[in-house]
Amino acid sequence: MYISTRGETDPIGFRDAVMTGLAPDGGLMIPARIPVVKDRMAAWTDLSYRELAFEVFSLFTDLSPEDLHALVHESYIGFRHPEVTPLVRAGPIRILELFHGPTLAFKDIALQFLGNLFEHILEERDQRLNILGATSGDTGSAAICSVRGRSRIRIFMMHPHGRVAPLQERQMTTVLEGNVYNLAIDGTFDDCQRIMKETFEDLTFKDQHALGSVNSINWARVLAQIVYYIHAALKTRKSENADRVRLAVPTGNFGDILAGWYAMQMGAPISRLVLASNENDILSRFFNSGIYRSGGVIKTISPSMDIQVASNFERYLYYRVGEDAGRLRNLMDEFKDSKSISVGSGDDESDDPSIVAGVGTTDQTMAAIRDNYEKYGYILDPHTAVGVHVSNSFLSESEPMICLATAHPAKFPDAIREATGETVTHDLLEGILEAPVRSVTMPNDAKAVRDHIDAHAG
């Protein structure tokens, strides 16, 4: 069963949790119990990625084994690497390549599964769905790719106008299927997230238009990402003959690293998660001070992390306050009013030794791209470079370090060219800058978005 972090929604099953997205009480859906399966890790070590995905999903879903096998197969058959998420050595760090899906970003791993899962549930129930999403870059293209052309689904994807990388924007706006609506919002990604949340909190509108979410407020997104943490940890532990590993995670919205935290709670051999932020460092400041305070969004060369309000932080905070939904509600109300909350002992730390954090500035990010290319012949995208830079401060001789590579470097050619002098391309991006586009620029206003959905929803 699934419950809301805010404690005012009745428990619901997996299918309803997926279709609900944001809970009716404004909270996020989480499993009522985290399964602890440390005793299964040895048996899971030699499983393929798809086999492990089936085992992990089985712990959290009520789907039949036959249906779940089919969904896993369909979701990952199109990935361009047989291992789905291969590990590559680059000096002292192992790079976990999560960009072998159809849009060259880690979001494909969860969203290919979620798109197929949506379709499966909608066909079971003979229903239709209107998706409202917000993206700082990669979520939009991955979500659109996962549902384009599906007859039961329409998707309305908001992105901050002029604040995503050109190739990221084109991956969204060049999709011309009739069920896809790109909305360029005159604001920041945080504004897009705020509009999305306000729209979902209008329960009459949400029910009237059967609104669902593909953002990581949807539990299925986090669930799908748990798999690659366990897979990478088990493979590395075996190959390096280590007891446990460390993973560095470039993150802005906290959904990716939250999946790693769940993997740790389940018993994966992970000793520490290294949270890596760019100059938009609300999360790294929290884990170094216990204070969660938002500020203005700074535009950087790692735009998917240009975020000052992390939507998934509420899930983590629920556990940090002892699963006390009342206290969580008070904290979220306080943050809404003051843009700042304090959680911890008051001793300049967040009181969670399993997560450490650091910042990679633009100059440090560029240096990491250049140095890794010159020393190891490996090209990092700007987001992954933030993770590599920060991870260097937390290396251990006994515990291998893995850094998540969240996107293919070809999506950020200008930064790569400036750092290395090299031009990186990919056949999936050929011709995309010249392709026709379809997008609507809209004011930073929730009512304008609701009106647009009202006019075009199925």
| 407 contacts 168 by C-beta, under 8 angstroms | no
CA 186 to chain CA mean position, Å = 23
**Tokens coding 453:** 């959905």
Q: Residue 348: how many CB atoms within 10 A of its CB? A: 10
Choice among 107, 197, 235, 411 that is catalytic = 107
Q: State the sign of the Cα–Cα–Cα–Cα dihedral 174, 139, 184, 150.
A: positive
Vertex 446 angle, CA 442 and 448, to 5°:
45
Whether 107 is a known active-site residue: answer yes
| CA–CA dist 170, 135 (Å, integer) | 13
| 400 contacts 94 by C-beta, under 8 angstroms | yes
| CA–CA dist 291, 139 (Å, integer) | 28
| CA–CA dist 390, 357 (Å, integer) | 8
User: Residue 214: helix, strand or coil by DSSP?
Assistant: coil
Enumerate the H helices of 88-188 as residue ranges.
107-125, 138-147, 166-173
Q: 398, exposed or middle or buried, with CB in 10 Å at 0-12, 13-18, 19+?
A: exposed
Q: Hey, which residues does 133 pair with through a beta bridge?
A: 157
| 167 contacts 177 by C-beta, under 8 angstroms | no
| CA–CA dist 282, 294 (Å, integer) | 6
How far is the CA of 396 from the CAs of 112, 122, 244, 271, 400, in angstroms? Answer: 35, 47, 11, 11, 7
| CA–CA dist 157, 196 (Å, integer) | 10
User: Residue 119: helix, strand or coil by DSSP?
Assistant: helix
Spatial CA neighbour of 108 closest among 89, 133, 85, 136: 85
Which residues are annotated as catalytic?
Answer: 107
